[in-house]
Homo-oligomer: A and B are copies of this chain.
């Protein structure tokens, strides 16, 4: 192919050249001031993206490692209520089951969370609530503010997977009452995969488990992170830290509000295209639940196969995502995360529109509708 494929899936996302080039530098000692300064810089930029004044720790591992760190350190042997309406909610439930006693409140994928059930579980003594803020498997954004208020009212700890929202959509961890929030490097931050960042409230520290895992022991990260220079307890993935630091510089240059507005505008454009095409969005939203601003899930129209649709798009050099698990073949998903902008969105929508029409679906002009939003 004459061109690198354009990744428009809900992460990993295209990584700006500046960020990739930051990894080329020679290895540095990770117990020295140069590494410490990079780590500190990352934390400084991430705090407003998390909406927190709590300290943030960076783990060399994927978002899943960050989720497990949260659950293992703060949910062990506790009564956990796990809100589930998609693949990543299920993952958080499974992680919870390895450490605590889990009540899973499942809704059909892509439909609203069971908030009355949550209130009942909290009244029955649940001590920890887990939720995925932005569920890329279905394109729904879950109501962190409402869940945080319920958790707080009943004195429960709130662990929020913000892997695909933090850095792209507004998150206000402190105001919402989120005690532990997690982000992954390869989503809205537009850095390479392989790092997770975790913020921890004082309330969470006060109830940290006695028996913790070793590599994911957040108390060890806290100790190493509080010295000068900042360090990690075990050897970090140095090139990924340097890349994430460069990604943070780009975020600094763009500005947090502008970044959120860009993500919202890109998602608005994709939703406008779906409307013009005559294609239904997959999630069922209500006054508390919204369409995700970082991943849009649409139903595949009758008569077209997933393979035809995504295959035709892929031949044009663009990768979009299919459905996962039981949604395979039923939906397709477009990521609007990280460093992408108007050209990538227009190209992607034009390719999808062509594929829809080529395979017999009489799609309206979604490209023009999106251009109207973006222009």
Contacts and interface: CB of A to CB of B under 8 A. Distances in A.
A62 B237 contact: yes
Nearest to A95: B214
Q: Give 9 nearest A-B pairs by CB, closest first.
A: A194-B237, A64-B234, A23-B23, A62-B235, A4-B26, A12-B27, A65-B215, A62-B234, A192-B239
B237 A243 contact: no
Name the residue in A4, A65, A193, A215 with the highest tally of chain B Cβ atoms < 10 Å from its Cβ: A215
Interface stretch (A13-21, A139-147, A256-264, A290-298): A13-21
Nearest to A69: B215
Contacts of A21: 24
Contacts of A20: 23-26, 239
Interface in A25-40: 25-30
Interface in A65-98: 65, 68, 72, 94-95, 98
A192 B237 contact: yes
Counting chain A residues whose Cβ lies within 8 A of the other chain, the interface size class is 35 or more
A61 interface: yes
A167 interface: no
A352 interface: no
A236 interface: yes
A126 to B, nearest CB: 21
Interface in A235-272: 235-240, 243
20 contacts: A4-B25, A7-B29, A12-B30, A12-B235, A14-B27, A20-B25, A23-B239, A29-B319, A60-B65, A60-B193, A62-B215, A63-B235, A64-B214, A68-B214, A68-B215, A186-B235, A192-B238, A193-B239, A195-B237, A237-B237
Contacts of A102: none
Name the residue in A11, A15, A27 with the highest tally of chain B Cβ atoms < 10 Å from its Cβ: A27
Contact of A192 (B4, B27, B214): B27
Contacts of A319: 29
A210 to B, nearest CB: 11
A12 B238 contact: yes
Given A61-B60, A194-B240, A240-B194, A15 B27 contact: yes
